[in-house]
Amino acid sequence: MKITKLTNSISLKRQLEGGNEEQLKTVRQVLLDVKQYGDEAVRKYSKMWDGISLEDFRVSQQEIDEAVETFDEQLKKDLEEAAENIRYYHAAQSREGYKRPLADGSWLAQRITPLDAVGLYVPGGSAAYPSSVLMNVIPAQVAGVKRIVITSPAGRDGKLPAAVLVAASILGVTEIYKIGGAQAIAALAYGTETIAAVDKITGPGNIFVALAKREVFGEVAIDMIAGPSEIAVLADETAYADEVAADLLSQAEHDALACAVLITTSERLAIDVAVEVERQLSELPREAIARQSIENFGQIYIADSITQAVEAVNSLAPEHLEVVCQNAEEVAEQINHAGAIFIGRFSSEPVGDYFAGTNHVLPTNSTARFASGLNVDDFIKRTSIVYYSEKTWQENAPKIARLARMEGLEGHARAVESRGWTKGDK
Amino acid sequence: MKITKLTNSISLKRQLEGGNEEQLKTVRQVLLDVKQYGDEAVRKYSKMWDGISLEDFRVSQQEIDEAVETFDEQLKKDLEEAAENIRYYHAAQSREGYKRPLADGSWLAQRITPLDAVGLYVPGGSAAYPSSVLMNVIPAQVAGVKRIVITSPAGRDGKLPAAVLVAASILGVTEIYKIGGAQAIAALAYGTETIAAVDKITGPGNIFVALAKREVFGEVAIDMIAGPSEIAVLADETAYADEVAADLLSQAEHDALACAVLITTSERLAIDVAVEVERQLSELPREAIARQSIENFGQIYIADSITQAVEAVNSLAPEHLEVVCQNAEEVAEQINHAGAIFIGRFSSEPVGDYFAGTNHVLPTNSTARFASGLNVDDFIKRTSIVYYSEKTWQENAPKIARLARMEGLEGHARAVESRGWTKGDK
């Protein structure tokens, strides 16, 4: 890893692939087709791209049961414990509306209601991602969403990975479809004969999935379009180089575009981590990906002071931040911008990816300046309610009419004034 | 207005203008230029499109003072009272993070922090919109945002409307710029020599502003892209036709694309409202706009029952809903999807546009199914924090490593395992 002296302006930002014209054209055609032809179009594209022919693409209860029965007991327990932890953390985010009284019997209120239906896209390919199921479904359940749908591309055998079905089963989600790609996003957004439309689509996917989500945005809500993973480690001489290196690589192995940065006040640590990264890289199964990430986007910065390091982190606004230094908790309090913070050497970042309870869907590419990780609020909506009594109306109508006329909206003024003082109730 | 029998599926959705290729090209050029040339480009485009040459486009304290001193006293009081009401309603939305203990001294937390800086775009043109200032600034202030910037195009006299400056002054906002259009959005997103970049841009604008906001989205946060206004009135025979008609027109006068719908169980009311709308239309200053809206998008539906009417409203998910019928409060409780609800005949919709305290920035085009009006949460972000003690790590590391390996992420497993049991603290 390159080691440089920390200067004032550093950035994690990368030029990210937004998809090319050809891909966008393809996605738009898929969306149109699924909107018009429903299931038939979904089947056509599943065959074309995933190479599978499925008459019925809903996962049967039997398939779920089989997955659960044959699944490794220990892993199932691990998933159950992770689910419990995630629920414990997110439960504190559940909230209620409120009512504020005004004079003369009038009141204002905010009502909070869950979305009716949400769809979670789980990427397929070579690996299974049960942790995505937990991280996306649990906040929706805490919010009170009644209908939760999972969709994921089937493998060549026409099946979904057992781990995904087991995770869904642990959470009680049974509406699962074996479709992927843009056609899955289209089905969730517009509905087909088999799949009723949802109100929000979450979950990561390849470039076609990301483009499709962007295109249907507005028709339905979507979560963020997540970028490649990022980790920043803020450390002093008390940190162990092998641990820091391992944590940097844990994010680098995600993606060749992932970004791993160490900011340290210790030159010794900087050099040791650089050596350790090289050593550990050569032993990593996903060495090729991690190496590309480290070579292109890996950086070690040497800071004059923790204060300077904190400033740098705040300008980075990283997705993940580890604080491994003396008084780590106090130092963490000075961080204004980060998706998630891990304090001390035992809070290795993957702890949060799988198990601790916090969400692993987090803002990337410096958007932690203004965005948050996935949370219960992403699955609720707010309705404001106004009740004006006759007396309140009478007292305030002239003021409201004046304000409306000041903005040139006479119709607004007349509407408020239209309530005749002497009409009485009908 | 057309009167029809209510059938199951009705919709407010309109094909909305998304801007054409030419406009998008223009906007992209402006964004590029402002990013590269800063103030100089802002000046160039202000001259080109707004026809004004300004060396210094920041509003001076003297200009603000002059506006305040010469402003109508009564209107100023009205604005102050409206601001108080809005603050009273939104104050209940302010919230704090939380900390959840785990075993063995470990804990999880959610930290809530305000955005550092937000920019509010206030449209210019023939009218002044002080209510936009109140509705956008107050939630940001309640959230704790320290830097709030207003930008709005100056008139030919090189000045901003006094009403806008007075509203800003009431709220203590003093960083105000006399620029509009895509160049204003660019300046807020990228920063210039004069204007430091913000983290989020809110507020409505013309098609160039809307396109610019879409383009900078990701670089900064934006609020929703608001569509034309909508009102649905759910009424029975107890409603007064002249009041319902006036309220329908109050939204129709906003925009030729605005949408006004009455759903009623009373045939009598349906007919009377149709007549009243025609009568009032002919006396409205903004008759041309309102008439177009009513002719294209106005509808009166006759429902068999309140239950059927409620279902129809839920399928519409209107921006504004008035409930004017017997047991209006109970009926309103059955509404799942609406941006804002106004209960009873004295809660005329413009009450909420200006004064009651709820926000007037609300989800349009059926997005109330999943979106909310502007609120304090739009100006905060959440950071999750994990602290694992050595004991918690030791107990859970094997589980986390197993879950990581199940997903094929060996580097994650090794990171968690890298904390040597016997190393001790450094």
**SS3 of residue B420 by DSSP:** coil
pLDDT digits (tens, 9 = 90+) for A287-319: 999 999 999 999 999 999 999 999 999 999 999
Window 383-402 of B: residues touching A by CB (8 A cutoff) are: 383-390, 392-393, 396, 399-400, 402
pLDDT averaged over every residue in chain A: 94
B336 → closest Cβ in A113, A130, A342: A113
Structure tokens at A11: 């950035």
Q: What is the pLDDT of residue B258?
A: 92
pLDDT digits (tens, 9 = 90+) for A316-325: 999 999 999 9
Using the predicted structure, report yes or no on whether residue A371 has a pLDDT greater than 60. yes
Using the predicted structure, report yes or no on whether residue A404 has a pLDDT greater than 90. yes
What is the rounded CA–CA span in Å between residue B292 and residue B285? 14
Residue type, B30: V
pLDDT in tens, chain B (426 residues): 999 999 867 777 676 666 788 998 999 999 999 999 999 999 999 999 888 888 899 999 999 999 999 999 999 999 999 999 999 999 999 999 999 999 999 999 999 999 999 999 999 877 789 999 999 999 999 999 999 999 999 988 889 999 999 999 999 999 999 999 999 999 999 999 999 999 999 998 888 999 999 889 888 999 977 788 999 999 999 999 999 999 999 999 999 999 999 999 999 999 999 999 999 999 999 999 999 999 999 999 999 999 999 999 999 999 999 999 999 999 999 999 999 999 999 999 999 999 999 999 999 999 999 999 999 999 999 999 999 999 999 999 999 999 999 999 999 999 999 997 556 566
Mean pLDDT of the region A357-370: 95
Of B215, B243, B253, B319, which residue is the catalytic one? B319
Q: What is the pLDDT of residue A100?
A: 97
Q: What is the pLDDT of residue A58?
A: 96
What is the rounded CA–CA span in Å between residue A291 and residue A294? 5
**Is B170 part of the contact surface with chain A (CB cutoff 8 Å)?**
no
Q: Cβ of A419 and B348 within 8 Å? A: yes
Tell me the chain B residues in contact with residue A298 when contact means C-beta distances shorter than 8 Å: none
Structure tokens at B267: 């045939």
How far B121 CA sits from the closest chain A CA (Å)?
16
Mean pLDDT of the region A25-48: 95
Helical packing angle, B287-297 and B241-252, nearest 10°: 100
Which residue on chain B is closest to A414 by alpha carbon?
Answer: B246
Q: What is the pLDDT of residue A15?
A: 65
Torsion of CA B63, B66, B71, B73, to 10 degrees: 130
Tell me the chain A residues in contact with residue B15 when contact means C-beta distances shorter than 8 Å: none
Using the predicted structure, report yes or no on whether residue A224 has a pLDDT greater than 90. no
According to CATH, the topology of domain B21-96+116-222 is: Rossmann fold (3.40.50)
Residue type, B420: G
B252 within 8 A of B258, measured Cβ to Cβ:
yes
Asked if B337 is an active-site residue, the reply is no
pLDDT above 70 as % of chain A: 97
How far A201 CA sits from the closest chain B CA (Å)?
11
Q: Map tokens 């920063």 to a residue.
A: B191
Q: What is the pLDDT of residue A16?
A: 64
A3-15+228-356: CATH, from 3.50.50.60, 3.40.50.1980, 3.40.50.620, 4.10.320.10: 3.40.50.1980
**Catalytic residue set of A:** 319-320
Q: Can you point out the beta strands (E) in B272-403?
A: 299-302, 320-324, 340-343, 380-387
How far A358 CA sits from the closest chain B CA (Å)?
6
**SS3 of residue A233 by DSSP:** strand
Mean pLDDT of the region A85-107: 97
Using the predicted structure, report yes or no on whether residue A14 has a pLDDT greater than 80. no
The residues of chain B that CATH labels 3.40.50.1980 are 3-12+227-356, 21-96+116-222
Tell me the chain B residues in contact with residue A421 when contact means C-beta distances shorter than 8 Å: none
What is the rounded CA–CA span in Å between residue A417 and residue B11? 30
The residues of chain A that CATH labels 3.40.50.1980 are 3-15+228-356, 21-94+114-222
Q: Map tokens 């605005």 to a residue.
A: B258
Per DSSP, A60 falls in state: P
Q: What is the pLDDT of residue B125?
A: 74
A253 within 8 A of B412, measured Cβ to Cβ:
yes
pLDDT above 90 as % of chain A: 85
- CATH 3.40.50.1980 for domain B3-12+227-356, yes or no, is yes
pLDDT band at A422 (very low <50, low <70, confident <90, very high): low
According to CATH, the topology of domain A21-94+114-222 is: Rossmann fold (3.40.50)
